Amino acid sequence: MRLIDHFLAGGAGAASARHGDVFDPNTGRVQARVALAGGEVLDRAVASAQAAQPGWAATNPQRRARVLFRFKQLLEANMEELARLLASEHGKVVDDAKGDIQRGLEVVEFCCGIPHALKGEYTQGAGPGIDVYSMRQPVGIGAGITPFNFPAMIPMWMFAPAIACGNAFILKPSERDPSVPVRLAELMREAGLPDGILQVVHGDKEMVDAILDHPAIAAVSFVGSSDIAHYVYQRGVAAGKRVQAMGGAKNHGIVMPDADLDQVVADLSGAAFGSAGERCMALPVVVPVGERTADALRERLVSAIGRLRVGVSTDAEAQYGPVVTAQHKARIEQWIQTGIDEGAELVVDGRGFRLQGHEDGYFLAPSLFDRVTPQMRSYQEEIFGPVLQIVRAPDFESALKLPSEHQYGNGVAIFTRNGHAAREFAARVNVGMIGINVPIPVPVAYHSFGGWKRSGFGDTNQYGMEGVRFWTKVKTITQRWPDGGSTGDSAFVIPTMG
């Protein structure tokens, strides 16, 4: 059986006493084994990073950018292979897997312009004969802890800007679908990245804690559930690290009475059920404003759901594939039962779906709830599966209140033809990322990604200039070049520039 090993200092080579199973979600069968380790393997990776990072930091940013540009070319050349490998372990359909890779590639493209992004500031004549300037320097060694749902995109969100800024980077991907992260590291080496600058270590909580506690790791980026994000943030900060930790989500789609319902239904079908709902930017809650809007939307949604095709990852006609594990499937089914027990109306039940020839795969058909209320636990918590909930709102103010008061504040969308309503909503809603007639408002690579409240812990967002700021420290220099006419007088008061 295939073994997925750590990628240390340019290649595999760290024996692990523990291993985990990697399943094919389409069949339910084990397809590989992944090495699981902790502090000892991490120490080896850190030692290699410490040896390599000073030389990489001293490499001028143009040359670092050229490595990333070659990596971008290799990603494009190997897109089909990477997408099929990703789909085989995650379960998302191949076209969706290509989108996963493409969104990471776009961050790599942004990082190819790192020479411009690293420019400091300069003030001539800040005082008599005094100039002041600043420079951005790498933090040293960074680490990333990434989730199963985007095994290509999120690692690239992290390691591309970190490495572009001159850091070494240690990646701890999800043990559920670890092959693509290792393949990305191999392609970075092929692109010319020195050994030790990007390494991949596999593990569970033992490895996470080792990363958070290691004194040589200066910064940690995390994406996952909110409880773990909070834990990562607290433990990392207590160890003196810079930490950004992105958590869960319960994104809402507000549907105003003037919205184009046919377009809304098309958008919701993809945003709620694409990738089997396993996206932190999925849209699992729809809030129609007014009973007439709600009734019309529900009717159209039921019809659209009946036309959705669930299939294996390689089915070119399938809208989505299986969820990632049997345990996650069972968790989603339990949330559906919780919604029923709480009094929500289950309009479409996706449980019990079996795909012919793949009866042991982790498949769920779409589910639709109506008359969900904010007091229900199934509304308050993240389900992370192909389940869409309708929460009816009588008016605009009530609809605005729902995402604003929810514990998560990742993303929200409003569907309307009214520019004033959209503008008012965007200005007042208490959420980090807003879509106006855009169902999945993931910002482009030269902006940044980050939610509010329990969706994000830390002071900086992912990628874009926020990423550059996270992975660098600012050094400011105040300089004076005497002309040789010094009086030799000592100054005992704080210097000023007057």
Residues 403-416 have pLDDT tens digits of: 999 999 999 999 99
Task: Specify whether the CB–CB gap between 174 and 34 falls below 8 A.
Answer: no
- Which tokens go with 268? 């919701």
417-428: average pLDDT: 97
Beta strands in 208-329 (DSSP E): 219-223, 242-246, 252-255, 285-288
Nearest to 278 by CA among 349, 326, 204, 328: 328
DSSP bridge pairs for 171 = 144, 200
For residues 419 and 399, give the distance between their C-alpha atoms in angstroms, rounded to a whole number: 17
* Angle 405-288-305 from CA coordinates, rounded to 5°: 115
Residues 87-130 have pLDDT tens digits of: 999 999 999 999 999 999 999 999 999 999 999 999 999 998 89
Whether residue 438 has pLDDT greater than 80 = yes
Catalytic pick from 111, 112, 165, 280? 280
As assigned by CATH, the class of the 2-247+455-477 domain is alpha beta
pLDDT attached to residue 487: 58
For residues 244 and 131, give the distance between their C-alpha atoms in angstroms, rounded to a whole number: 34
In the chain, which segments carry CATH 3.40.309.10? 252-436
Q: How far apart are the first and last CA of the chain?
A: 73
The yes-or-no answer on residue 112 being catalytic is no
Q: Which fold has domain 252-436?
A: Aldehyde Dehydrogenase; Chain A, domain 2 (3.40.309)
pLDDT attached to residue 489: 65
Residues 320-349 have pLDDT tens digits of: 999 999 999 999 999 999 999 999 999 999
Whether residue 488 has pLDDT greater than 70 = no
For residues 138 and 480, give the distance between their C-alpha atoms in angstroms, rounded to a whole number: 26
In the chain, which segments carry CATH 3.40.605.10? 2-247+455-477
